[in-house]
Amino acid sequence: MVNSTHISYFILTAYSETGFLKYLYFLIILALYICIIGANVLLIVVICVNRSLHEPMYLFLCSLFVNELYGSSGLFPFLLVQILSDIHTVSAPLCFLQVFSVYSYANVEFFNLAVMSYDRYLAICYPLQYSSHMTYNMVVVLIAAIWFPPFFAVFVTISLTLSLQLCGNILNKVYCDNYSIVKLACSDTTVNNIYGLIFTFILVSCPVSLIVFSYMRILRVCLSGCKQSKQKALSTCTPHLASLINFSFAVFLGVIQGRFNMSGVPNTLRIFLSLYFLTCQPLFSPLMYGLNMSKIYILCKDLLLAGVRNNL
């Protein structure tokens, strides 16, 4: 038995069937990455430079876009190198660093969406008391709650995985995945499994409870309120709900792909399913918020037009 710290690299076998299509995949991934960077950076800049957007809702949005840049940067450069490479190996430290990036991205995203639902609940259900509830200190506390618990939980997860003794280094994936590494263990994984269950329960149940609570209250206001209240709730909640549904669906696909035997599914489709939440969500969210929130849309349009005029 070999301790995981003595394994110098992992082999990723999911690239074996790409062949000459690797150049097409490279161009698609590169185009997606450029679009993700462009869309998220544009919205971050718009929120940061416009004082009118220095409100809790937009600060939480900024946190969301920063996280999507973080998650994408933990995957896309790695994918681009691996697609063109003839030897699909990754060093053990880089592999665990990618596990940390991918897992922390997913959990921060979920926490961020939960906090945003709570913010919408306060804005819609208690509009007159909103500013007194959502103070600057509260925003700081909530943003810290979005980022620190997931990072700590994932750090503990990886620490437990590093303590395992592994009997192999072959991963049937296109990127490093903690569950796939744990399956290589030839030592007892009871602690990992127990912590994994607790970790999953806490990091899923807390955001889900907050989201369900918030939207139940928002729905009550919509059903009992006037037409104007319903329209306001619909306009502010539509982008968030769309982003939440898309992310939940993406995570569900990732769980299905990781936990069940997918050998009967074509390799290209398996790769798409495993990458969905790391490719579609970072592009979907900025488009949804940029196009559906008029204040952001107008400011983005003005900033782009100003840039075009300066270049002419």
**pTM (predicted TM-score):** 0.87
Q: Which domains does the chain have, with CATH numbers?
A: 2-305 (1.20.1070.10)
Percent of the chain with pLDDT over 90: 27
Mean pLDDT of 259-275: 67
pLDDT at position 2: 43
What SS3 state is found at 85? coil
Mean pLDDT of 170-186: 87
Angstrom distance (rounded) from CA 157 to CA 193: 10
Mean pLDDT of 192-204: 86
Mean pLDDT of 145-161: 93
pLDDT at position 1: 39
Mean pLDDT of 58-72: 93
Q: Given pLDDT bands bounded at 50, 70 and 90, which one contains residue 134? A: very high
Handedness of CA 70, 71, 77, 81 (dihedral sign): positive
Mean pLDDT of 47-75: 90
**Backbone region of residue 200 per phi and psi (left: phi > 0; alpha: psi in -120 to 50; beta: other values):** alpha
Residue 305 pLDDT > 60: yes
